[in-house]
Structure 1
Amino acid sequence: MEVKPFTIRDLQKKKEKNEPVVGITSYNYSIARIADKVGVDWILVGDSVGNCEMGYATTIPVTMEDMLVFTKGVVSGAKRALVIGDMPFLSFQTSPPKAVENAGKFMRLGVSGVKVEGIRCIENIKAIINAGIPVMGHIGLNPQYYFQMGSYMVSGRKKLEWKSIVEAATILEDIGAFSIILEAMVPELAKKIHDKVSIPVYGIGAGRDVDGQILIINDVLGLDFGFKPKFAKQYVDLEKIIYEALSKYKKEVIKGIYPDIEHTY
């Protein structure tokens, strides 16, 4: 039976029906295929691949070339789930033409849209939308501005911040963004944004009063290898499982147990 792809319109329909949307950040064909089978609604190919799969301390070193390689795998694995490409550092900030060009590279791979952090380069974001490319916004904690922030901070702990953050959400809606991610944000502020805008808002560490949740697959599977934010729930210790499997394989090779007759032509 042919699988009907999940679309941006379906995201809006789920919001209207008050049905939670399930998202995951993933970086490869194997996980995308499993997520698709589970019925995850959308997959973000995040620039957090820099931390999770490339060993970087931040997302800053991740390039467009890096993102395109990982995106190819996810698009190949996801037959139903909507796939969004994450615009890495300096891929959309420098100029409107460059922003459109790079967003277009994602679209040619088969994604349904791109995600951008913040609203500082709003004219460049507008240019992407005006070119016919769907854009997901991202406010609250913006990792691409790590060196300006000095640390990863929770947004909204000071009520003085609320006005500007809510305004950022309304600006994104006004220019035509189809949804917004709220990252590391106090739940009260997230609810205020949810109630203020008509487009879907999804939380990653923003409480329950949003239209859906997204987590990073490495956190879900226990492959975070170090820092884990408070909101990241681990559902299995896959690091332990992989360690035990590889240890058993190593032991069998050394002892001459593998390959046995069953695994020999």
Structure 2
Amino acid sequence: MSTYSAVKKITTNTLLKMKTDGSKIAMITAYDFSFARLFDQAGIDVILVGDSASNVMAGHETTLPLTLDQMIYHAQSVVRGVQRSLVVIDMPFGTYQSNSDIAVASAIRIMKETGGHSLKLEGGREVLDSIKKVVDAGIPVMGHLGLTPQSIYKFGTYTVRAKEEAEAQKLREDALLLQEAGCFAIVLEKIPASLAKEVSESLHIPTIGIGAGVHCDGQVLVMHDMLGINTEFKPRFLRQYLNLHEQITGAVQQYVSDVKAKDFPNEAESY
């Protein structure tokens, strides 16, 4: 068992110590009170209130439609369920890219209204000014490089990023810039494992991988993918730990059958 299982409250400083000690960081997404409480009690280190809520909660094709108000609602729900885990909240598309003053105003609003512990912003040098100003406002920031879903229309594909040397070199440089700007950790999404290893070893802050190999300092998965609620998304990097789609469907079908057969409720279930 990890020495960090006894830590009463995970903080950004805890994650830095975990990297130094070689203890891996486990991170998962959550979007509501009930699952956040389950994950927190199960010992997860970090809960990401992801803008993937746009996909898995609202049914959108991309993360782009999610609004600041919607993000705040999901984050408020998650924070109420958490006692130990560090809560990281995605800043939605459009709340930080165009103007660093808007970024700070959006970041302050998220922190004040949710009670969350930190924020995540996608991108490197393009959004560096926004990251610096948010950090200068006293708000912890997690970076995000590689495949950045908010830029999906620019990429045009969800394929692996930074396979070519020019993009790989930019990612190396961006990672150092984010560290210098004050980020406490960086998500590396869907990049070659060798590059992720190199970047992780070049930084004193932890890296969190998703589709970036085992040498990152931690891993993150979307709960709907990992628990088998969403069955359409099956990339190579995903390990499905449950098949809730099958189990939930079966349970509901049995409930429907019992109701229609007048088997539910029975005498013991009646007053």
TM-score, with normalisation over the residues of structure 2?
A: 0.94
2:112 pairs with 1:110: no
- Which residue is 2:41 aligned to? 37
- Which residue is 1:162 aligned to? 168
Structure 1 letter corresponding to 2:115: G
Q: Which of the numbers 214, 217, 224 marks the counterpart of 1:218?
A: 224
2:25 pairs with 1:21: yes
Distance in 2 between residues matched to 1:199 and 1:79, nearest whole Å? 24
Tell me the secondary structure at the aligned position of residue 44 of structure 1. Answer: strand
Shift of 1:78: 1.1
Shift of 1:156: 2.4
Distance in 1 between residues matched to 2:127 and 2:202, nearest whole Å? 22
Shift of 1:122: 1.5
Tell me the secondary structure at the aligned position of residue 237 of structure 2. Answer: coil
Structure 2, unaligned runs of 5 or more: 1-5
CA contact (8 A) 2:89 2:118 kept: yes
Higher mean alpha-carbon deviation, 157-166 vs 135-144, is at: 157-166
CA contact (8 A) 2:119 2:141 kept: yes
Distance in 1 between residues matched to 2:84 and 2:143, nearest whole Å? 22
CA deviation map 1:166-210 (0-9, x unaligned): 001000001111110000010010011111111111101100111
Tell me the secondary structure at the aligned position of residue 181 of structure 1. Answer: strand
Q: Which of the numbers 144, 148, 152 marks the counterpart of 1:138?
A: 144
Distance in 1 between residues matched to 2:156 and 2:118, nearest whole Å? 30
Tell me the secondary structure at the aligned position of residue 26 of structure 2. Answer: strand
CA deviation map 1:23-77 (0-9, x unaligned): 1011111111111111000100000111111111110111111111111111111
Structure 1, unaligned runs of 5 or more: none
Shift of 1:261: 2.2
Higher mean alpha-carbon deviation, 104-113 vs 47-56, is at: 104-113
2:156 pairs with 1:150: yes
Shift of 1:107: 1.3
- Which residue is 2:251 aligned to? 245
CA deviation map 1:206-236 (0-9, x unaligned): 0011111111111111012413222111011
CA contact (8 A) 2:225 2:233 kept: no
Tell me the secondary structure at the aligned position of residue 9 of structure 1. Answer: helix
RMSD: 1.4
Distance in 1 between residues matched to 2:177 and 2:148, nearest whole Å? 16
Distance in 2 between residues matched to 1:170 and 1:200, nearest whole Å? 12
Higher mean alpha-carbon deviation, 154-163 vs 4-13, is at: 154-163
Provide the identity percentage. Answer: 39
CA deviation map 1:81-116 (0-9, x unaligned): 000000110011122221112111221211110000
2:85 pairs with 1:98: no
- Which residue is 2:92 aligned to? 88
Distance in 1 between residues matched to 2:162 and 2:193, nearest whole Å? 9
Higher mean alpha-carbon deviation, 152-161 vs 24-33, is at: 152-161
Q: Residues 174-253 of structure 1: matches in 2 within 5 Å?
A: 174-253=180-259
Tell me the secondary structure at the aligned position of residue 114 of structure 1. Answer: strand
Distance in 1 between residues matched to 2:239 and 2:215, nearest whole Å? 18
Higher mean alpha-carbon deviation, 220-229 vs 210-219, is at: 220-229
Higher mean alpha-carbon deviation, 166-175 vs 222-231, is at: 222-231
Shift of 1:3: 8.0
Shift of 1:158: 1.7
TM-score, with normalisation over the residues of structure 1?
A: 0.96
**Number of equivalenced pairs:** 264
Tell me the secondary structure at the aligned position of residue 188 of structure 1. Answer: helix
